[in-house]
Each structure stands twice: as C-alpha cells, then as structure tokens.
Structure 1
Amino acid sequence: MTVLSGLKARATRTSLVQAVRLIEQAAKMRGRPASIGEDAAPDEEPLRFVASDRMALVATELAGIDDDGHQPRVTTNIMGLVGATPALPPFYSEIQLQRRRLRDRSVAAFLNVFDHRALSFFYRITRKYHWLLDHERAGRDGSDAATGAMLAFAGLATPAMRDRLELDDVALAPLAHHLGDQRRSAASVETVLRHLLKRPLRVLQAEPVWMALPPEEQSRIGGPALGRFARLGGEGVTGQEGGEDDHLPDAALIGAAVLDVQHHYVIEVGPIGYGEMIALCTDDATITRVRELCRLAAGIEHRPILRLAIAAAEIPPLRLGMADAPALLGRTAWMALDPGSDATLVECAIPLTASG
C-alpha cells in the first residue's frame, strides 16, 4: 500500500496538516521538490486543494482525497468560500449548488483558485510555527529555527563556530544538552561518541599515563640552576649571592617523568572484529572525527586515547605478507596467542594527539 492509497482509505480520520505533510514528502521522493503555496506553477505543486461546497455539517477536516496519477486533490471541509462554513454570504453557496446541478463547474473552478491559495497559506503558517514540520522541511541543511536554537545551546550558532569539523554540524543538534553543559562528565562524552560513531564503546576516566619532564623541570645536584627548580644546595635561582632573589629552591623533582592521572581518559571501543580493527587503525578520517569530537565534548585540557578491544579468538595467526590479514606493528601484531582463549585484548591504543 502506497502513502497516497493509505491516506485515501482513512482520509476522514486524518488531519489536514498530517495528510499534506505525507503527500508533500511522497512527492519529494518522486522527484517533485516544489513546496505548497510558494512560487511554483500550479501543476508543479505536490497537490491541489479543493474546498467542499456541501452544506451539511461535518466533524472532520478532510472530506476525501482523489488521485488522477499526476496531482492528488485534497478536499477539505474547512476554509472554503462556500459550503457549510462559508467565508462569503450564503447566497453564493446557493448559486454554487444551482450551477452544480446544471453540470456547470465554472463557478466552482473560479472559487477554487482562492480556496487553494488560502489553504496553501494556512498550511505554510502551520509549518512555520510547528518546529517539527519546519525541521522536516529544512532537511539536513540546518536552516530551520529548531536546529539553530539547538546549535546555539551547544555554542555552535555563530558563523565563526560553524563548519569547523569533519562532521556535519547538524548532526550535533540532538546532543546540544550534552555539548552545552559546562560540567563535562564521562557519561556525557560517552553518549556523544556513541551517538555519532554508532559503535559500542565506553569512556574510562583518570587513566594513569607517564609524562616526560623537560630538562628545565628536573632537579639536579650541582650544575647551573634551571627554571624554578634550582639545583639542590648552593646558590639560589639567580646564582647571585646576597641578591633579593637569593634563596634555596622551594621544590624538587626527582626523575625524568611523572605519573599523571588527571588529564587522560580512554575511549574503549568494542569488542570488534579483526577487519573492523584494521579499518579503524588505517582510517585517518575516522581518527580525525573521533579526535574532534573528543575536543568538543571533553575540552582541550583532557587528552583522549582510543583503545580498541578485540576477542583473542578473532585474531588470525601472525604471518608475514598476508594481504587479507595485515599486521600493524605496535597495534595488531600479536604473537603466540592461545587459539582457544576467550580473553579480550585491549593492547591496541591510539593516542588522539593533535598530530594523530
């Protein structure tokens, strides 16, 4: 059953706006993108409105739907110049009925010019102030008011903030309540990534990572003073005895690295298949998309790590030169795996830094 045949069967149980909406969408799918009540030629519009001229009182908005194969005719019980609730004096309704008995449709055709235009404007007004209809008509370009408001909540409404990501900005509108919340949580980041990437994943926060210290931040015994962490013992930071800055260092760092648990988090995807893992490891566009979403959802002060989980049974034996199961050194090159193991391996980690 087509959309139009279904509407014809239940025309008296369907509202005017809903029927016109469905007919308009069906016309667009058939390659007729013209909208109702705008500047298109009458025969190019998706449908033709006809106001019923019957004098009987009715309880529904639609009297019926007819289709000649080119342009459906939607007969309404409302907003007619003549009929049960006429805009013109009743005398004109009587004239219309007299001419119809004589099989003269000229008066009806003349009045229908105004009926069609008035009903078209009525539908346009309804669509303008009904944000769901406005959003549906705008499609994927994000020009409707509802999408603009959602992007404003997310901080992406101004021209300088638009079209900066590989992902279409319109796809971010349903996630405005997460992106606009200044309290960035792991659950919020997880929801954003799962919705946009369409993959099973979870976010693990407070991931411990060893961070290398630059030489000027490392304390030394002897040698010149470097930065605020001066050498242990002897002169102060300035190296001038008796100066106003002459003091012993107030802190010391021993070692070449520190364990940071505050600024790193892990996005664990999976378990996934081996082919999907290879595709993710080699797809720069997907890696870039994940990196941009992480910056947007969690902020630039946190550093994400993409970790791919895979069942050990999914990993093929490691052999050189296998084009169908290539091994990526440091990511998918496992050796001496137990083929009967039911473990899940999470050693494939991809730091999502600025350079990828």
Structure 2
Amino acid sequence: MAKFKPLKQELLDEPYRFEFFQAVRLLEKIYPEKKTVGRDAMPDEEIVQFRSRIGLDFPASQIHAFQTSFDERIEEERLEMLINFMGMVGMNGVLPIHYTEMILDRIRRRDTAMWAFMDIFTHRAVSMFFRAWEKYRFPVSYERGEDDFTDYLFDFVGLGTKGLRKRMHLEDESLLPYGGLISQKPHSALSLGQIVSDYFGINAKSRQFFGQWLELDKESITKLSQANSGLGVDAIIGTRVWDQQSKFRLVLGPMPFKKFRAFLPDGSAHKPLTSVVRFLIGLEFDFDIQLRLEARQVPSCILTTRAKRRPMLGWTSWLKSKPFEKDDEQVVLELS
C-alpha cells in the first residue's frame, strides 16, 4: 500500500505537479513565520527566492525544481524556486537568447555571478507578478483578512467600525450574506423572518402587534389628591397599562426535537438567535419566541437521572399517554 507524502514534502520533491500561484500560496502556509513575497521585506526575509532556470530546451511545467542555498549573512538556508515561465533570461526570458547562452557558458566554467545578478531583477519582477495576480482574486485576499469587500459589506449591515464587532454570540461575518435585507431600514417582519429562517434552517415568521402589559413606576400611578389625578389627563386606574404595539412574537417551526432542544435557553442556538433578533430590531421592541415541535417528535416523559434526555419542567416534560395529533406550541420563551 502506497504511503502518502506530507504536502510540504510533495511540493518540494515534485514541484512540476503544482501551478506556480498555488505553490507560492502553499509556501505561505508552510512557513508562516516568513514574510510573503512582493512587499516591503528584504529578499532574504521572504519565504522563497525566484530564479530563472537556465536552459534552451522546451519547459514542461511552470516550476522546474526547488533548491536551497546557504546564506552566510543570516546564517541559514534559503529556499529557491527555479521557474520556467518568465524572468530576465531563459527560454521565456525578456533578454535576447545570446544572454542565456552566455550564462550557460559561464556556468560550465563554474561562474554563476552573472546568473545571480540577473535573478536579482527576476525575483522582484516575479514577486510583483504574484502580487498583481492575487490583488484581484477575492478568495486570496479574503483568506488573509485583507480584502476590502468584506469591509464594504460590514458597512452595509452596520458593523463598519471594528469596535462594534465581536459583541454577539455568533460570527459577525455570518450576517454578511444578508446585507441587502439588513441595510433596508426599518426592518420589516418579513425580512426578519427570512433572515432567521435562512440562518438557522427553520421556518420562522413574526406575529406583529402581539401586545403586553407594561407595569407603571410609582411616579406614574394615580393617587387621589396627590399625583396623576387629573381626569382625562393623567389619571390611570390600576398599576399597569396595555400596550398593543411594543411587542411581537417570533414563531419557529414546526421542527424536530433535536432542533427544538437547541433553541431552549441552555441550547447551542439560543444565544445566537437572541443576538440576531436583537441586532435587527434594536431596543425599541420586546419579543418572545414560540417553539413549535412536530407532533411525531414529542417525547415521553421519563423521570430518571439515567435517561439520555432528562426532562426539564415546562420545556421538555410532556405528560404523553398517546401520540400527539397536532404540533406542540406550548413552549414560549420570554426574551423582553
């Protein structure tokens, strides 16, 4: 049975199997302590030095070979990549062919000075060629965290300032696909349901104007002959008032029990859900969440500490004597 080589070893042993751009990207991953090519670092600080392969035969691949040379100035070995596709000299070099012939003749006499001199310019030219290639490849710049498009999308969703990020219980970038909906203000009940539905992979809809009782503070309670006793002005009977417009209900489901369990307060999806909803609606509205469990997924209540799913009173403790005919809608989580 053949043994698989580590990727690093395969790249160094058989570079002709790799495309030039991907090979350089792999070297950046293999040697993260080194600086990437084509920027402001000195050549001996970069991950690789590009050199033209000196020859007059037809090249079969973009990369001919890797070789190492000992640099006495930094007292360590430097990785060199012999390339076939561009440079000052070689079959694809920009200089006339007799320069390549001249260098070949000097190499036969063990004189590599002219070759090394030409590669000073080759290294920088190829480095800038690589930089130009990656500049307009979004996946490359995104992988490094240096792309501008992500910042533009953060501006759309309202997280353009880095100080506003990393405050929610989810990855901020996971909201970027919904930038078109989030940028529309004010957010509608339909857009809220669409975002939650797509993000969590579940049916979601909003019930608007759900209404709630608001408790009055002591200063607002009517006290005869003392305060708030003007009939038709500020007098209120009781200690609370009904507000029809400050609350809505988010209905999720019907869903299987595994997803139902994840949305409970101790579940993995509870905090991300509340973070998304609160981010979209702000502090103006209160809301609660109704979880709908599929009828066939309602479990029986088993009172034992050895059960895989211990019942939680009010959440997962159904007194079930026969299969449910309708989806269960009893669980409502107050999140105001």
Q: Structure 2 length as normaliser, TM-score?
A: 0.71
- Taking a change above 3 Å as real, the CA distance of residues 86 and 169 of structure 1, as seen in their structure-2 partners, is same
Report if the CA contact (8 A) 1:154-1:180 is conserved. Answer: yes
Counterpart in 1 of 2:131?
A: 124
Q: Secondary structure at the match of 1:325?
A: coil
* d(CA) in 2 for partners of 1:136, 1:109: 34
Give the drift of 1:149: 1.7
Counterpart in 2 of 1:95?
A: 102
* d(CA) in 2 for partners of 1:122, 1:290: 45
Give the drift of 1:148: 1.6
The unaligned stretches of length 5 or more in structure 1 are 239-248
* d(CA) in 2 for partners of 1:338, 1:207: 34
Which deviations, in whole Å up to 9, do the C-alpha atoms of 1:290-320 show, x marking residues without a partner?
Answer: 2221122233333333333323333332243
CA RMSD across the alignment: 4.4
Give the drift of 1:201: 1.9
The unaligned stretches of length 5 or more in structure 2 are 69-77
* d(CA) in 1 for partners of 2:155, 2:118: 45
Moved more, 88-97 or 203-212: 88-97
Which deviations, in whole Å up to 9, do the C-alpha atoms of 1:81-135 show, x marking residues without a partner?
Answer: 2235645566533422433565754533442243123211322243345443211
Q: For 1:313, give the aligned amino acid.
A: R
Aligned with 1:312 (options 295, 305, 309): 295
- Taking a change above 3 Å as real, the CA distance of residues 115 and 159 of structure 1, as seen in their structure-2 partners, is same
Report if the CA contact (8 A) 1:179-1:296 is conserved. Answer: no
**1:134 matched to 2:141:** yes
Q: Secondary structure at the match of 1:115?
A: helix
* d(CA) in 2 for partners of 1:259, 1:204: 21
- Write out aligned runs for 1:166-205 (5 A): 166-194=169-197, 196=199, 199-205=200-206
Give the drift of 1:271: 1.0
Counterpart in 1 of 2:248?
A: 264
* d(CA) in 1 for partners of 2:159, 2:288: 25
- Write out aligned runs for 1:1-356 (5 A): 4=11, 8-9=16-17, 19-20=20-21, 22-27=22-27, 30=30, 32=32, 34-37=34-37, 38=39, 39=41, 42=44, 45=47, 47-53=48-54, 63-66=62-65, 73=81, 75-78=83-86, 80-84=87-91, 86-88=93-95, 92-100=99-107, 105-138=112-145, 143-194=146-197, 196=199, 199-207=200-208, 209-214=210-215, 231=231, 237=233, 258=242, 260=244, 263-269=247-253, 271-274=255-258, 276-283=259-266, 286-322=269-305, 324-339=308-323, 341=324, 343-353=326-336
Give the drift of 1:190: 3.9
* d(CA) in 1 for partners of 2:210, 2:190: 21
* d(CA) in 2 for partners of 1:253, 1:266: 31
Q: For 2:298, give the aligned amino acid.
A: I
Q: Secondary structure at the match of 2:278?
A: helix
Give the drift of 1:155: 2.0
Report if the CA contact (8 A) 1:210-1:257 is conserved. Answer: no
Give the drift of 1:191: 4.6
Report if the CA contact (8 A) 1:287-1:352 is conserved. Answer: no
- Taking a change above 3 Å as real, the CA distance of residues 158 and 85 of structure 1, as seen in their structure-2 partners, is same
Report if the CA contact (8 A) 1:49-1:73 is conserved. Answer: yes
Q: For 1:8, give the aligned amino acid.
A: Y
Give the drift of 1:31: 5.8
Give the drift of 1:266: 0.7
* d(CA) in 2 for partners of 1:40, 1:310: 63
* d(CA) in 1 for partners of 2:45, 2:161: 40
Give the drift of 1:44: 6.6
* d(CA) in 1 for partners of 2:328, 2:209: 19
Q: Structure 1 length as normaliser, TM-score?
A: 0.67
* d(CA) in 2 for partners of 1:224, 1:313: 61
Give the drift of 1:67: 5.0
* d(CA) in 2 for partners of 1:178, 1:55: 59
Q: For 1:260, give the aligned amino acid.
A: Q
Give the drift of 1:349: 1.9
Q: For 2:52, give the aligned amino acid.
A: A
Q: Secondary structure at the match of 2:264?
A: helix
Give the drift of 1:182: 1.7
* d(CA) in 2 for partners of 1:304, 1:212: 13
Percent identity, aligned pairs only, is: 20
Q: Secondary structure at the match of 1:181?
A: coil
Counterpart in 1 of 2:71?
A: none
Q: Secondary structure at the match of 1:205?
A: strand
* d(CA) in 2 for partners of 1:156, 1:310: 34
Between the two proteins, the alignment pairs up a number of residues equal to: 314
Report if the CA contact (8 A) 2:15-2:66 is conserved. Answer: no
